[in-house]
């Protein structure tokens, strides 16, 4: 177990390193007014802490820096809670005060606030949309050749596609098709749409429309060619400002990794509810081994969950980031709840 003094020293080192990014030596610590031991004593303690794996040296005669295990201990036991400044709180409040927002905008703004307030990179994962229900399907002809299909879910999510109307498709058929679809599909969860169409709608369509095949291809195309982008990233530039990323090769690797949506999304999706802290090599993705990733979950309505996250160097302001993510995820959950209850 660690003694009080060791705890103090560890805390001082980590706090300092988080802000300066420089190895810290015994003398510097002993000079602090809240530390009343000589540098020699500190040196001894530091040697012990290093032996226990909480500290590292960059070279044999350098000052100490925290190891990943050190950060882990800090996050789990040592960190003092962070009080967000009134200014920051205001910024957040004012954003959620706005009555008129669609989901995408809230998320985008949240991502921006997160990255602005921390100078790290924020990543927000939207909720799985598949469980949401179809509220309305509309096909609106723009002219002879083209139309726009608009699909609204019960969560207020809107998808739309423009398309060209195949030559020879009767407008009346199109209209009928849409009417039938709305009749039958309202309230059906998105992920069941396909099945439902196959089972119930196809026969109906066959009966009622003269050009069944075309209408059908249509629906298919309009409804299911989606690849829902659910990843919102903000402040990618911030990561370049960190001194640990002064060599461009690292930045490149990291950026490439972030841009691979199908790498990041599952990672975030697989996190537990609440706050998660993933430090350095705890991350399964090699490209993020120099980083820490803090995630927090938010809820959209009763069922759907999304994740907000901050990506920064392992030398991260854990305390601040965690507070911020807490506040923001709660605020998001609250806001979405107010939108979607009784739906």
Partner DNA sequence: GTTAGCACTCATGTTTATCGAGTGCTAATT
Partner DNA sequence: AATTAGCACTCGATAAACATGAGTGCTAAC
* Interface residues toward a second copy, by CB under 8 A: 99-103, 135-136, 138, 140, 142-146, 148, 150, 152, 154-156, 158, 160-164, 221-222, 225, 236-237, 240-241, 245-248, 251-252, 255-256, 259, 338-343
DSSP-assigned states of every residue in 228-266: ---EEEE-HHHHHHSGGG-SHHHHHHHHHHHH-HHHHHH
Cβ atoms 189, 132 nearer than 8 A? yes
Part in contact with DNA (CB under 7 A); list of ranges 42-50, 71-79, 214-222, 240-248: 42-50
Is residue 64 part of the contact set for DNA (CB under 7 A)? yes
Give the interface segment with DNA, choosing from 60-68, 111-119, 141-149, 179-187 (CB under 7 A).
60-68
Nearer to a second copy, 52 or 150 (CB): 150
CB of 111 to a second copy, least distance (A): 13
Whole-angstrom Cα distance, residue 310 to residue 317? 11
Residues 6+ apart with CB under 8 A from 246: none
Crossing angle of helices 212-224 and 171-185, in 10° steps, is: 50
Helix (H, G, I), strand (E, B), or coil: what is residue 317? Answer: coil
Q: 86: helix, coil or strand?
A: helix
From a second copy, DNA, none, interface partner of 46 (C-beta below 5 to 8 A by class): DNA
Asked if 122 is part of the footprint of DNA (rule: CB under 7 A), the reply reads no
Closest CA to 264 of 256, 252, 272, 275: 256
Rounded to a whole number of angstroms, the minimum distance from the CB of residue 338 to a second copy is 7
If the CB atoms of residues 46 and 258 are measured against DNA, the closer one turns out to be: 46
Q: Which stretch binds DNA (CB under 7 A): 19-27, 103-111, 189-197, 308-316?
A: 19-27
Cβ atoms of 67 and 314 within 8 Å: the answer is: no
Residues forming the site for DNA (CB under 7 A): 23-28, 36-41, 43-44, 46-47, 50, 57-64
């Amino acid at each position: 177990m660690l003694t009080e003094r060791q705890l103090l020293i560890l805390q001082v080192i980590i706090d300092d390193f988080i802000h300066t990014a420089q190895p810290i030596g015994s003398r510097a610590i002993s000079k602090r007014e809240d530390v009343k031991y000589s540098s020699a004593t500190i040196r001894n303690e530091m040697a012990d802490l290093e032996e226990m794996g909480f500290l590292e040296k960059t070279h044999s005669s350098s000052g100490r820096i925290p190891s990943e295990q050190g950060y882990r201990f800090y996050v789990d036991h040592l960190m003092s809670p962070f009080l967000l400044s009134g200014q920051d709180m205001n910024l957040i409040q004012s954003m959620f005060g706005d009555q008129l927002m669609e989901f995408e905008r809230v998320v985008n703004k949240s991502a921006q606030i997160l990255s602005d307030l921390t100078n790290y990179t924020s990543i927000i994962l939207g909720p799985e949309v598949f469980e949401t229900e179809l509220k309305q399907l509309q096909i609106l002809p723009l002219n002879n050749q083209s139309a726009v299909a608009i699909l609204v879910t019960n969560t207020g999510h809107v998808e739309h596609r423009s398309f060209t109307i195949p030559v020879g498709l009767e407008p009346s058929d199109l209209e009928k098709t849409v009417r039938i679809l709305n009749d039958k599909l309202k309230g059906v969860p998105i992920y069941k749409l396909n099945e439902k169409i196959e089972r119930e709608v196809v026969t109906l369509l066959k009966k009622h429309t003269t050009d069944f095949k075309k209408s059908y291809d249509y629906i298919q195309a309009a409804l299911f060619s989606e690849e829902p982008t659910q990843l919102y990233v903000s402040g990618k530039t911030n990561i370049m400002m960190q001194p640990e990323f002064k060599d461009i090769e690292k930045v490149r690797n990291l950026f490439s990794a972030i841009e691979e949506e199908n790498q990041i999304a599952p990672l975030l999706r697989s996190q537990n509810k609440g706050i998660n802290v993933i430090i350095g090599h705890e991350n399964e993705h090699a490209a993020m081994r120099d980083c820490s990733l803090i995630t927090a979950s938010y809820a959209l309505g009763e069922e759907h969950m999304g994740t907000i996250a901050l990506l920064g160097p392992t030398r991260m302001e854990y305390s601040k980031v965690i507070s911020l993510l807490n506040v923001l995820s709660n605020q998001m959950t609250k806001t979405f709840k107010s939108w979607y209850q009784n739906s």
